Structure 1
Amino acid sequence: MTYIRLFTVLAAIAGSFWALSAQATNYSRFNEYPSATDTLKSKTDTITLSPEELALLVEYIPNEPNDVIQDRLSCIESEIPLEFNNFVRSHIDYFTIRNRKYSRMMLTRHNVYFPLFERYLQKYNMPQELKYLAIVESGLKPTAKSHAAAVGLWQFISSTGREYGLDQNKYVDERMDPEKSTDAALRFLRRLYNTYGDWELAMAAYNCGPGNVNKAIRKAGGGKKTFWEIFPYLPRETRSYVPNMTAVIYMMHYASEHNIFSDSILYEPQIAHLEVKQALNLEKLAEELHISPDQLMALNPELKKREIPEHMRNYKLRIPAERAQLLASVSDKDCILLAAAPYEAPVEEPAKSPVLLASSKTEKEPEIKNTDNAAVASEKVVYTVKRGDNLTAIANRHNVTIEQLKDWNNLRGSAINYGQQLTVHQPASAPVVLLASNKEQPESATTKTTTAKAAPEKKVQQDQLIYHVQPGDTLWNISQRYNGISVEQIKKLNRLKTNNIKPGQKLILS
C-alpha cells in the first residue's frame, strides 16, 4: 500500500510539471510567458529557476474550451446581452491568462465601490451589471486619467462632466468624486439607453459618442440597430469596448475557476460628513483628527489641494466615521476647526503689546501717543530652523514680522535651510501702560496731589485688559497666550457672534 501511495504522489508531481510545461509552451504565443525549454535551464541534474520562473510553474492556469466558456456566460443572469464569439474569447483570455494581475487587483478593489454603484443603479432602476463598466473605464481608480484627458472612475471629459453638473476649478474636480461622478454617469447612460433602446449601443455611445454610433448605423444600412450588426463600422476602440465589458463580467463571476484569487479584500470605508463653512488647512485638520493627511485626501479624491478656500462654503468633507465623535460637541468642533484654519501672512508692521486701560464705558478711550518711540528693553534669541519651517511660521511664533527677521539676519529672500540659526529680538518684558480714565492729563505735581486726594471720594472703576489683534492671530491662540480665559469667554466679553477677528481690532480680555 505504501508503494502505491508513493507511486501516486510521484505520478501526480510529474503530471503537473508536464502540464505546466505544455501550458508555458502554449502561452508563449501571447508573448507573455517563456516556453518550457527557455524556463528549465539545466547543465547537470539540478534545475535552476529564477523566482519569476518558479512562480510561473507553480501557478496553475486553466485553459478552458469554448463550449465551457459559452455555457458559463449563459448561466449569468443579466439584462445586458452576453454574446460569445472568438472576439469575446480573446478578451476573456486577456483577463484570465495574460493579465491575471489586473484581475486580482479588481477582485481586491470591487467591494470598495460596488456598494455605491449598486445603490445608484437601484435608485435609477438600471441593470446592476452596469457596475462592471467602471472596471473597463478606470480599473476602479477614482483619480485615473486617460490620454484623452478623461478623468475619474467613469472617465468623464471636461465638457461632458460640466454638462452633468460636475464642478471643475482650481481646488476641486468632481469628476474624481466617487458619488457625484457615479450619479452623473448613470444619468448619462440612462439618457443614451432612452435614445437607442439597447444597452450595448448605449455603452458604445458612452465610449465614442452618439454621433459615431449614429454614423455606424447609417453605414450599416439604417435598419441594423444592434451592436454586433454595426460592429464593423464603429471606431476601433469601441469595437473592443462591449467585448471587454462581457469579458470583465465573466472574469468577476468565474475568477476562481481560472485559479485567480485576491491576496486581500478592501471594503467600502465607513465615513461621516463634516460640513465646512470656513477656510481649512487639511493637513492641520488631519492632525487634529489623529489621522494622516494621505488618509483624509484618499477619502476626498476630488480635492486637488490640501486646503479648502473660504468661498467653498457648505462643502461636505468626508472623514472617517470613527473620528466624528471628536466633533460631537459644538465647542470641540469649533476648537478643532479654529486650529485647522490656514496660516495668514502677517502684515509688515511692528507688533504692538497689550495695553491696560482704566476707562469708563461712557468715555472715549484715550489715544496712546509716542508708544512707538518709547525705548523698550529687548533680548536677542537664537532660533535654529527645524524641518518644515518657513519665515511666516517663525514670524508668527515669535510675534514679529518677516521683514524684521530678514533685517536682523541679512536675508535677501525668503529661503531658509534646516539647521540654520536665526537671530530674533524679543521684548524682555511686555510693556503695560496704565492710563487714567480722565480725558485731561495731570499738568503738575500740585494737580497730581489734588487728584490723589480726591480719588477716595469716587468709586474706582475696574481695570480692563485690552489686546490689539496682530496679523495671524486667532481667538484660540490668544486664549492659549492668556491663561484662564477661554474662546467662549472672549466672545462673550466682546459680544462676538463668530470666531472671525481682524488685525488692529481691540479685544477685552478681562
Structure 2
Amino acid sequence: MNLSKQFTYLLFLLLLPVLTVRAETPVEAQVTYIMETADSLVKARLALFDQSIMEHRFDKAVRRRIENYVGNWSHATGRVLARSARFFPIFEEQLAAKGMPLGLKYVTIQESALRPYATSHAGAGGLWQLMPGTAREHGLVVDEILDERLDPELGCAAGLEYLQIQYERYEDWALALAAYNCGPGNVNKALRKAGGRDKNYWQIRRFLPRETRNYLPNIIAAAYVMAFHHLHDVPAGQMDLDLQITEAITVERRLSLHRVIQVTGLRPDVVIELNAQYLKGYLPGLPGGHRLRLPKRVMPAMRSYLTLHPADAPETDADLPWTSPRLHKGELTSERYYSQYRTTVGSQDTTLRQVAGSFRIPVDQLAIWSNRGEFDSLALFDEVVFYNVSEYLPFDPRDRDTPAAAPQVDMLPAAPVRIPNRNRVNGLPEVQPAVKTEKRKPGLGDILKSWF
C-alpha cells in the first residue's frame, strides 16, 4: 500500500466518529437532598414534641419526607411556613379552648398544605379536608353559595370535633388520626388483623391502607420542619401582612364583598383570600350571622360602616366598578400601615413561647417573623422581630358614595366578586427529584467536528 492510500485510510479512520451517529444513553443520577444533620440529633429534636399525641419515631419514611421538605420541596415548604403564621394562631386558640394537644395543628400541613381552598379528588375541602357530608353533620353549610369548610375558624371547629370523636372511640391520638384519614372502619379492621384493640398505630401500621401507613410519618416530618426549618436554611416565603394580622367579626346581615372593598379600600384579592367561603361574593345573611375576616387595620372603618349603614338598605354593588377612592391614591400595598419592632431578650434561657406570651403575640407568628423555631431557647440579648399595626383606617362616609363616579382602575376587574378557579391540592405536590445528566468527555470525533 503506497503512502497516498495509507494516508487516505488513516484519514477515514479519523473521520469515522464524525460520520457515525452513536446513540448513547446518558448516565442519569437522581439529585436528592441528603440531610447533613445526624440522625441522633433529629431524634433528640423529635423528642421535644408532645409524645402524648404519638410516638415521634424517626424511621426511613420520616427521614425521606424531611429530606423532601428541606430539599426538593424547599420553595413549597417556604410558602407553607408563611401560611402557618396566618392559620396556626387560629388553630392553637381553638385547641387550647378544647383542651386538645396543640401539636394537632400540624395535621393540616399533610391534609391541605395550609391552603384554605384545597380540594381532594374525593371531594374533601378546606384546611382540614372535610367531606361535605361530615361537614354538614357538624353544622357547616356546604352549598353553591356558601362553603363553610373554607372558613379557617369554622372548618377548624368541625375538624376538631370529628377528631375528638375518633379519640373518644380509641382513647389514642395516633389511632384517632389514622381514623381521621381512612375512617374508623379501616382502623377497626387493622386492629383485628393485628390481634386486638390494645395495639397502637405502629403495631397495626402494616394493615392500614397505603396512604394511612405514611400519614403519621408525614405529620411527624411536617412538625419537625415547622419547628426546625431555620436550622436547615429553609426561609419562610413572603406573605402580605394584611393576610397575617387579621380579625374576624360576626355580620348578621346580607353584605357583598364588593361593598367591603369599597369601604376599606383593600385589594379585591385580599378580601377574597380572607373570605374564600363566600363562593358568590357575598355574605348571604343566614340566621346566626357569618364571619367576616379582614386585616385588623381596617376594622374601625368596617365596624363604623355596619353601625351607620342600615341593614335593610339595598345593595347595588353589582352595578358598580371594582374601585375605591383609596385605591386611586396608590394604596395598593399595606406596608405603610405596619411597623416592625426588633427587641432583645432580657433574661437568660427563655423560650420563644414565653417571649411571645410576654408580648401577646402568637408564637407561630413570632417564629416566622424572627426566623426561629417554636422550641428555640433564647439567650440574653438574642433578638426577635415582630410587627404591629401602626395606623388604623377610620371610616369615611364619602367612600361608599363616590365609587360609581370614580375612574375605574385598570388592574382591577369590573365585575362582581367571583372566587377564582382553584387548583385541586391534597398536601404538598409529589415533586419528582431533579435529574442530572453526566457529560462525557469530548472524543477525537468531537475535536474533528470543531475543526469543520
**What's the TM-score bracket when you normalise by the shorter of the two chains?**
0.5 to 0.7
Q: Is the 8 A contact 2:263 2:305 kept in 1?
A: no
Q: Which has the higher contact order (CA 8 A, sep 6+)?
A: 2
The count of aligned residue pairs is 295
Larger Rg: 1
Provide the rounded CA distance (Å) in 1 between the counterparts of 2:196 and 2:128.
30
Q: SS state of the match for residue 214, structure 2?
A: helix
1:114 paired residue among 88, 94, 103: 88
Partner of 2:278: 303
Equivalent residues in 2 for 1:286-435, closer than 5 Å? 286-309=261-284, 314-327=289-302, 329=304, 333-334=308-309, 338=313, 340-342=315-317
Structure 1, unmatched stretches of 5+, are: 1-27, 34-59, 345-385, 389-475, 481-510
- Provide closer, same or farther for how the CA distance between residues 329 and 164 of structure 1 changes in structure 2, counting only shifts above 3 A: closer
Provide the rounded CA distance (Å) in 1 between the counterparts of 2:197 and 2:304.
66
1:67 paired residue among 40, 49, 59: 40
Provide the rounded CA distance (Å) in 1 between the counterparts of 2:303 and 2:171.
49
**Deviations 1:298-317 (CA, angstroms, capped at 9, x unpaired):** 22111101134465673343
Amino acid at match of 2:47: S
Partner of 2:245: 269
Q: CA deviation at 1:327?
A: 4.8
2:104 paired residue among 118, 130, 137: 130
Q: SS state of the match for residue 255, structure 1?
A: helix
Q: CA deviation at 1:323?
A: 2.8
Partner of 1:93: 67
Provide the rounded CA distance (Å) in 1 between the counterparts of 2:61 and 2:297.
48
Q: SS state of the match for residue 110, structure 2?
A: helix
Provide the rounded CA distance (Å) in 2 between the counterparts of 1:281 and 1:190.
35
1:244 paired residue among 193, 200, 218: 218
Q: Is the 8 A contact 1:274 1:319 kept in 2?
A: no
Q: SS state of the match for residue 134, structure 1?
A: helix
Structure 2, unmatched stretches of 5+, are: 1-27, 323-399, 405-452
TM-score (structure 2 length as normaliser)? 0.59
Q: CA deviation at 1:168?
A: 0.8
Q: Is the 8 A contact 2:151 2:277 kept in 1?
A: yes
**Deviations 1:170-191 (CA, angstroms, capped at 9, x unpaired):** 2100111100111111111111
TM-score (structure 1 length as normaliser)? 0.53
Partner of 2:200: 226
Q: CA deviation at 1:248?
A: 0.9
Provide the rounded CA distance (Å) in 2 between the counterparts of 1:131 and 1:204.
15
Provide the rounded CA distance (Å) in 2 between the counterparts of 1:117 and 1:166.
17
**Deviations 1:92-115 (CA, angstroms, capped at 9, x unpaired):** 222122222222222211110111
Q: CA deviation at 1:157?
A: 0.7
Q: CA deviation at 1:331?
A: 9.0
Q: Is the 8 A contact 2:50 2:103 kept in 1?
A: no
Provide the rounded CA distance (Å) in 1 between the counterparts of 2:217 and 2:260.
46
Partner of 1:143: 117
Q: CA deviation at 1:257?
A: 2.1
Q: CA deviation at 1:128?
A: 0.8
Provide the rounded CA distance (Å) in 2 between the counterparts of 1:331 and 1:214.
51
Q: Is the 8 A contact 1:88 1:247 kept in 2?
A: yes
Q: SS state of the match for residue 287, structure 1?
A: helix
**Deviations 1:461-507 (CA, angstroms, capped at 9, x unpaired):** xxxxxxxxxxxxxxx99xx9xxxxxxxxxxxxxxxxxxxxxxxxxxx
- Provide closer, same or farther for how the CA distance between residues 197 and 145 of structure 1 changes in structure 2, counting only shifts above 3 A: same
Amino acid at match of 2:43: Q
Between the aligned residues of both structures, percent identity stands at 35
